[in-house]
Structure 1
C-alpha cells in the first residue's frame, strides 16, 4: 500500500510539472510574439509625421507673350529713306503719350520731312503726295485696315522739300478694334524731281516707310 502511494504521488508531481512547463511555454510565446511583430512592422518614425525622402520637385512652364514692338516708345524716331537719287530724312512723333494710345482714342502722328539729292546739279525736289494707311493687329494677325489718309499738294508741281525747305504734316490714327494690340502705320511719299535745273519735266520717285506702334491695353 505505501509503494502504491508513492507511485501516485510521483505521477501527481509529474503531472503538475508538465502543466507548469506548458504554462511557461505559453507565457514565453506571449512575450516573444510582440517582439517578433515589432521587428517586422514599419519603422516607428514613419508614424510620427515625418517623411523619410524628399518629394520629387515638379516644374511648370509658363508661356509669356513677347513684348509688343513700339517704334515710338521713346516718344520719337527718325528714318532715312532712299528713292533713286533722292534721300529723305523723316522725323516722326506723337503729341499723345503712349499710355493714352488706346483702341478707341484718336491717335495723332506728326512728321517732318526734308530731302537732299545726289548728284546735286541744281534741280529741285517736290513732294507731290503723302499717304498714310493704318493697319491694326491682334494676337492672331492683321485686322481690316483703316481708310487711307492722303495729303496731295495743292500747288503745282508739289511742295518744295529740297533742303533747306521741309514738309510737315499731322495724320491721325482713328479708333481700332478693341482686340488690337498694335497698329502698323504705312507711309508713302511721291516725289517729283526736275530733270534739269530749268526744265519743266520731272521724274517721279517714291519712298515708303512703316512704323509699328503699340496699343495701350485698358
Structure 2
C-alpha cells in the first residue's frame, strides 16, 4: 500500500510532462506549417468531389469492419493527420491546389498538380507527413495516463491512437520506396550525388 501512492504520483507526473511536451510539439509543428494549415482564402470549391467522398466513406467503413470501431477510427484519424501534414507542407511550398484522398485498406495519398521545384521543398513536404503526428501521439499518450479514473474507454482510445500513430510513422519512415523514408533517402542522395538517387530508386523498387 505504501508504494502505490508514489507510483501513482510518478505516473501522473509523467503523464503531465508528456502532455506539456505534446502541446509544445504541436505548437512547433503549427509554426513550421504556418500559412499552410488552412486552405487559401481565394480557393473556390465548385461542386462536390463525389468520388473523394465515396473513397473516404469506404475507407472509414473498411477500417472499422476489419479492425473494429475503436482501432479503425484511430487508424483513420492517424492517416488523415499524416496526409494533412503533407498537404499543409505543399501549401507552404506554394502549392495551393494540394489535397489528399483516403484509399480503402491502403491509407491515403497527398497530391498536387505540380511537382516541388526544389529538393529542399520536396524533402520538407515528405518529412511533414510523419512529423505532424509526433505531437498528437505524445499528447494522446499523456492524456490517456490521466483519463483512466475519468473514462476508461476514452483512455483506451487515446492510447490506441498513440500506438497506431507511432506505428504509422515508423512504417512510413522505413527506407523503402515509395514510403516517406525511401523518398527522403532519395532526396538526400540526390543532394550529394545525383546518380546515387537513381540507383537507390531502382534498388528500393526492386526490394
More helix by share: 2
TM-score by length of 2: 0.22
Compare CA radii of gyration and give the structure with the larger one: 1
TM-score by length of 1: 0.21
More strand by share: 1
